[in-house]
Structure 1
C-alpha cells in the first residue's frame, strides 16, 4: 500500500489562523482601553506585529505563493515585468533603490489591463479593532508605496490578465535582502519567504563568488531544499554556452540539483539564445514550485513559532491586567448592588452555549460530510474505471510528475464537480440540514420549558408560527429593547438567552447559502459597487438555491430579525424576504468590503465548495499520488475544511451576540468603558491561549506524515 505523505489529521491551519486573527484583534482593541504601563504598551506592540504576521499567514493559506527573491539590483523586477509583458514604468528600476514591501502578481480572468491594490490593516478609532482593507490605487501610487510604504500597509498587489497560471497562484516580488536586518524592507521579508510554497532565486552571475550572494544562496537552498528552488542567473547575455554550462554544473553540484532537474536553472538576458527565458521560468515554477509537502511543513513550523510567541505574550498580558483587576472588582461590587442583570449571567450563558452548540454541530456535520466524502470517492473511482484509452490513462500512476499543469487544473475541476453533486451545492445542503438537528432539539426543549405560558393563547389559523418561533419572536423583541439603553426597566430573562444559540445556528444556515452566492462569478467581478442589474441577477441565483432549501424549523422572519438586531443591519429592505435574506445583506454591503463589516465576521473560512476544494487540493498535492488516492484525500480534506469553517462561523456569531449584550449592559448602567473589562479580557485570553495550543497540536500531529 502506498504511504500517504500528509494525512488530513484534525483541523486545518486556515480556520485556526482566522480564529487567532479575530480573537487577537479583539484582545488588542479592548486592551487599548485599559490604563497602560510602558510594559503593557510593549506587549501590545508585539501583539500588533503577530497580528500582521497572521494576516500574511492567512494569505498563504488562501493561495499558493511563489516568492521571487534575491539581493537588490539583480533583476527581480525585470523578470516579473518580462513574464507578463508589463511596461517599464511599473516599478521602474532606479540604481540603489528597490522595493521595500512585497508586491504580489496575481492572474485574474476577464481583465484586459492590470489593476493595483494595497492591503491595509486599519484600527477603528471607536472599537480599536483592525479592519483589513484592499484599496485600489493608481500605478503612480503603487510605484510610490513600493519605495516608501506606511506602517499599516502590508503588501501591494497587481492583478494581471490570466496568462500562465491558475488564479489561486501569486508570484510575490520580495524586497532585496540587506545585511542590516533593521531596515524597513526586511521587517517581514523572511516571514513571507518562509510561508511561501517555493522560491525563485534571482542571482547576478557576476556576483556569484561574493560573500553576500553565497550566504543568500545557502540560505534559500537550505530553506527550500525539499521544494526544489528555482535559480535564475540574470544578465547572462555576455556568457558563452560553455560558461553557462560551467555555472550550471557548479550550482547543481553545490545544491544537489539532479541531472534530470537542471531545468531548475535558467539564464536570462538579451542574447537571442536566452531571450525566451520567461517561458522556461514559468515551466520550472509549474513543475517544481507548486508542490506543497515541504512548504506545508515550513508553514506549520512558522505557525508553531507564532503561536508559541503569542502564548508567551498572553501570559505577560495577564500579569499586567492583574494590576487593573483590584479596582475593577471594587467597582463591580458597587455597581451590582443595582437591580438588573448580572454581567456574569450573560457571559456564563454564552460560555455554555459555545461548548454545547459547537460539540453538537461538529458531530452532526462531520457525520454527513464524511459520508458525502466517501460517496464522492466512489464516484471518482467509477469515473477512472470507465475511462477509455486516451489522454488520462497514462497518467494513472504518478499524477504530479506526469500530468501537465492544465491537466492538474482539469482534475481539480472534476473533483469540484463531483463534490458539488447534481444540485451544484450538495455538500452545503447537507450541512444546512445537519444543523437542523440542533435547532429541532433546542426548539423542542424551548417549547417544553415555556409551554405553560402559551396554553390559553388564541390560535391564528394556518399561517400561525410554531410555538417555538412565537417564543423566539417575543424574546428577540425583548432583547432588541434591552440593546437600546433608552428603554428603562428592561431585563433579559433566561428564556431570552436560551433562544440565542438557536438564532446563531439559523444565521449560520443563511450564511451557508450566502457563501454559495458570494462565490458567484458576477459578484467576484465587482470590487467596489454593485449596480442594480447585477444585484438582481445575484438575487435570482439566490432564489434558485433557496427554493430547494425550505421547511426549516426556524422561521425566516426570526433569522432576519436576529441578524438585524445583533449585526446592526436593516435586513427588511423589501427586495428579498424569503430564505436567503442574508445574501441580500451581503450584496448591499458589497463583496469587497464584507471582511471589514460586522456581518463579515460571521463568514469564516471555506464554507463554500469552491474555496474548500482549492484549499483541500492544495494541501495534499504531492509528487506521487494515484488519482484515486489523491481524490480520496482531497475529498476528506474538503469535508474537514467545510466542517471546521461552519463551526467557527457559529462560534463567531455567538461571540458577536455576547459582545452586543455586554456593551448594552455597560451603557444601561452608565459604567465607564473599562468596567468589567478585566473579566472579559480574561475569558478572551483563555480562548486565545486555547487556540494557540490547538494550532501547536495540529503541527505536532501532522509532522510525522511530512517528508
Structure 2
C-alpha cells in the first residue's frame, strides 16, 4: 500500500471499542493511557486524509500572532487577551489547534472534537464535533484543561488554501522534552511530521540567541531535514526600510535551517504586524505556501517510521497494561459454562483469523490484477486525450475545471475497463468458501479470474449442469445439528448441549466460511439487499420497485436449488431450520429474513451489504484526490492506486464487521444456554476488543513495512 494510513479508520474504530470495554476494569491510569493513544491515532488518521500545513517553532516566536494576522482575528475580539487565539507572548497552547478554512463560515468560530460515550449505546465511544460554547471554553481546550477533547478546531473563511477543508495546524512551542511536557511535546512532534507541509516561525532574537538557536537546529535535524519547509521570520515591521537588515535575517535563517542558496528566495519570508507590513506579506505567503505542500521521499519515510513507532511502542505498551489487568479480573471465574463458551469462541476466532489471512492475500492479488489492467488502459487514455502536441493545442482554451472533469472521467473509465470488480471479488469469495465447505470439483474448476458468467444460479455452485442439487461435502446433517445446539439455547437436541467435542468444534470452524458464503450470495443478488446491480449503490425510491421483477426472475430459478449450506446459513442468521424445515433454498431463506423486497431485515444482512455496496468508493476516492494538485500523468496513476487501496481497506473492514456479527451470535446464544450473567459479556468484550486491536495493528504494521522497504532500499 502506498497509503497504509487508510487502515487507520478501522483500527481507530476498534480502539474506541476497547476504550469502552475497559471501563469494566475501573482503572483510571489505563483509561488515561487509552485516551492519549486514541488522540494520537485520531490525529494520524486526520492528517493522512486532509491537506494540513503545520505552523511550528519555539515558544514565543510569534506562531499564534502570525495566525491572528493571517485571518484578522485581532479585529473581531474584545481584547488581545481574549478571543479564540489570544496573544500569549510565550504562554502558549499545550494542544495543537487545527485552523480549518471552511466556505460555510463568514467569521472565525471555535469547535471541539471530543471523545464521548454514545447516548444510545452505553460503554461505546465515538469522536463528535460540537461548537464551542464560548471563546473561554475554546481557550481552556487549547491549554489541555478539558477532559476528552481530542482536538480544538478553529474554522475560518477561506483565504490562503486552494480548496475548502484545507488548513493549518498551529503547534505548541517546540522545546526540549521533559517529564512535565512529554505528552503534548510528543503529540506536537507527531503532528509536525504527519502534516503535508511545514511552516517554521522564528524571530531575530531566536536567530541570535545560542540556546534558542540550539532548539531550532534540533527541530530541523530531527523533523525537517530533507523537506522544503517555509521559514517565517516575524517581528520585522521596523525593518521595512532596511533591506540590508532583512537580508541579514534571511541569511541567519538560511544557516539555522540549512536552506540552499537557490531556495532561499522561495522559502524564507519576513513578516511584521503593522498594517502596511501585513498587506505586503499576505500575497507573498499565498505564493510561498504552494512550495511546501508536496511531501518528499524523506518526509514520507519519516511519517511511516513515526506511525510504526506509535503502533509498536505506545499502542502496544497500553495493550500490555490492559492484558495484565484483565488477566487478574478473568482469573476469578472459571465455571464449566464459561470454559465451554471460551473454547467455542477461541475455535471460531482461530478459524476466522486464518480465513482472514487467506482472504487478504486473495484480495491483494485480485486487486493488483485489476489495477494493472486499469493502469494499462489509463496509459492509452492519457496518450489519446491529455498528452502530446495535438492535445495541448486543442485544449489550450479549456478551463482548469474542464480539464479536471475530463481527466476524472477517463480515470473512472480506466478503472472500469478490466470489468466490474465485484465479479472478481465474488470469485475470490468462491475460491475460499468452496475449499472450506467442500464444494464439488466441477464448481471449483469454474473459478477462474476471467470467468464471469452471467448465469447467477450456475455461479452459486449448488446444482450441476443438469440442474440437479449438489451438496458441499463438509456441511453435513450432523453439522446442522451441532449448529442448532450452538444457536438455539432453548433446545437440547438429543442431549448434545454441553458436549463441546471435536465434532462440535469442527462445525464451529466452518462458520467463518459460511459467513463469507452468505456475502457471496448477497453479491450475486445485490437487489435483494437494496443495492442496484449496475451502480452498486443503494436503490433510490422507485428504482427498488423496478428491481423487484429481476429479483423474482432470479428467485424463480432458485426455488428448487436446495443446499445444506443454505440451511447452515439460516441457522447462523437466527432462522430456526428445525421449526421451518422448508428453509433450504435461497428464496425461502430471504423470505424468512424479510429481505426479499430490497431491504435488509436484520443486522447481519445489513452488514453483508457492505461487501456489495462499493459504488460510492469511486466518488470518495476522486473527492479525496481532487484536493491534490499534481501533474496529469502522476495524478491519474496515483488515483488508480488509491482505488486499489480503498477497495482493499473497505473489504477488510466489511470482513471484520460480518465476522463480528456471527461471533456475537455465538457468544449471546451460549451465554443464555449456560445462564451466565453480564460479567461474561463484559469480559468477552474486552478479550475480543484486545484481539481486534492487535490484529489490525499488525495489519497496519505489515503494510507500513511493505511500503517502507522500497524507501529504505
TM-score by length of 1: 0.69
1:500 equivalent in alignment to 2:515: yes
1:64 equivalent in alignment to 2:58: no
Aligned to 1:245: 247
Cα distance in structure 2, aligned partners of 1:243 and 1:14: 45
Which range moves more in the overlay, 52-61 or 681-690? 681-690
Aligned to 1:609: 618
- CA deviations 1:406-458 (Å, max 9, x no partner) are 96x98876654333239x98899523662366269859998989xxxxxxxxx
Residue 101 of structure 2: which of 90, 98, 107 is its match? Answer: 107
C-alpha spacing 1:429/1:382, structure 2 compared with 1 (3 Å): closer
- Give how far 1:242 is off: 1.2
Aligned to 2:196: 197
- Give how far 1:206 is off: 3.9
**Paired residues for 1:15-30 under 5 Å:** 15-30=6-21
- Give how far 1:133 is off: 1.2
Aligned to 1:294: 298
C-alpha spacing 1:316/1:91, structure 2 compared with 1 (3 Å): closer
- Give how far 1:155 is off: 0.8
- Give how far 1:293 is off: 2.9
C-alpha spacing 1:435/1:20, structure 2 compared with 1 (3 Å): same
**Paired residues for 1:43-442 under 5 Å:** 43=30, 45-86=32-73, 87-89=75-77, 90-96=83-89, 97-109=91-103, 112=106, 116-123=110-117, 128-138=123-133, 140=135, 141-143=137-139, 145-147=141-143, 149-163=145-159, 164-167=161-164, 169-177=166-174, 182-183=180-181, 186=185, 188-211=187-210, 213-222=212-221, 223-239=223-239, 240-261=242-263, 262-269=265-272, 270=274, 272=276, 275-309=279-313, 310-328=315-333, 330-331=334-335, 333=336, 342-356=341-355, 359-360=358-359, 363=362, 366-367=365-366, 370-386=369-385, 387=387, 389=389, 416-421=408-413, 429-431=420-422, 434-435=425-426, 438=429, 442=433
* Secondary structure of the corresponding residue to residue 114 of structure 2: strand
Cα distance in structure 2, aligned partners of 1:425 and 1:665: 46
- Give how far 1:110 is off: 5.8
- Give how far 1:233 is off: 1.5
Higher gyration radius (CA): 2
C-alpha spacing 1:295/1:45, structure 2 compared with 1 (3 Å): same
- Give how far 1:693 is off: 3.7
1:652 equivalent in alignment to 2:652: no
- Give how far 1:54 is off: 1.0
Which range moves more in the overlay, 216-225 or 379-388? 379-388
Contact 2:374 2:417 survives alignment (8 Å): no
- CA deviations 1:254-279 (Å, max 9, x no partner) are 32322332221111122636633122
C-alpha spacing 1:648/1:210, structure 2 compared with 1 (3 Å): same
Cα distance in structure 1, aligned partners of 2:199 and 2:548: 49
Gaps of 5+ in 1: 1-7, 396-405, 450-465, 521-536, 590-597
- Give how far 1:23 is off: 3.5
* Secondary structure of the corresponding residue to residue 173 of structure 2: coil
* Secondary structure of the corresponding residue to residue 233 of structure 1: strand
- Give how far 1:244 is off: 0.5
Cα distance in structure 1, aligned partners of 2:639 and 2:666: 41
Cα distance in structure 2, aligned partners of 1:660 and 1:286: 53
- Give how far 1:304 is off: 1.3
- Give how far 1:696 is off: 3.4
* Secondary structure of the corresponding residue to residue 327 of structure 1: coil
Which range moves more in the overlay, 306-315 or 369-378? 369-378
C-alpha spacing 1:367/1:84, structure 2 compared with 1 (3 Å): same
C-alpha spacing 1:33/1:146, structure 2 compared with 1 (3 Å): closer
C-alpha spacing 1:244/1:366, structure 2 compared with 1 (3 Å): same
Cα distance in structure 1, aligned partners of 2:544 and 2:616: 19
TM-score by length of 2: 0.68
- Give how far 1:66 is off: 1.1
C-alpha spacing 1:659/1:634, structure 2 compared with 1 (3 Å): same
Gaps of 5+ in 2: 78-82, 441-468, 499-503, 559-566, 576-589
- Give how far 1:237 is off: 1.0
Cα distance in structure 2, aligned partners of 1:657 and 1:692: 22
Cα distance in structure 2, aligned partners of 1:546 and 1:109: 39
- Give how far 1:71 is off: 3.6
For these two proteins, the number of residue pairs brought into alignment is 613
- Give how far 1:552 is off: 8.5
Contact 2:112 2:129 survives alignment (8 Å): yes
Contact 1:606 1:642 survives alignment (8 Å): no
- CA deviations 1:644-698 (Å, max 9, x no partner) are 3222222233124423542453355442333386677556545544443443343
Q: What is the Cα-based RMSD across aligned positions, in Å?
A: 5.5
- CA deviations 1:577-626 (Å, max 9, x no partner) are 865869x99xxx9xxxxxxxx9999999997124435667999x99xxx7
Contact 1:67 1:196 survives alignment (8 Å): yes
Contact 1:616 1:638 survives alignment (8 Å): no
C-alpha spacing 1:334/1:157, structure 2 compared with 1 (3 Å): closer
- Give how far 1:114 is off: 5.2
- CA deviations 1:367-412 (Å, max 9, x no partner) are 256324533443344334554548969x9xxxxxxxxxx96x9887
Which range moves more in the overlay, 233-242 or 12-21? 12-21
Which range moves more in the overlay, 350-359 or 676-685? 676-685
Cα distance in structure 1, aligned partners of 2:701 and 2:640: 24
Cα distance in structure 2, aligned partners of 1:94 and 1:563: 62
C-alpha spacing 1:320/1:444, structure 2 compared with 1 (3 Å): closer
Of structures 1 and 2, the one with the larger relative CO (CA 8 A, separation 6+) is: 1
Cα distance in structure 1, aligned partners of 2:195 and 2:533: 29
Cα distance in structure 2, aligned partners of 1:343 and 1:273: 70
Contact 1:71 1:176 survives alignment (8 Å): yes
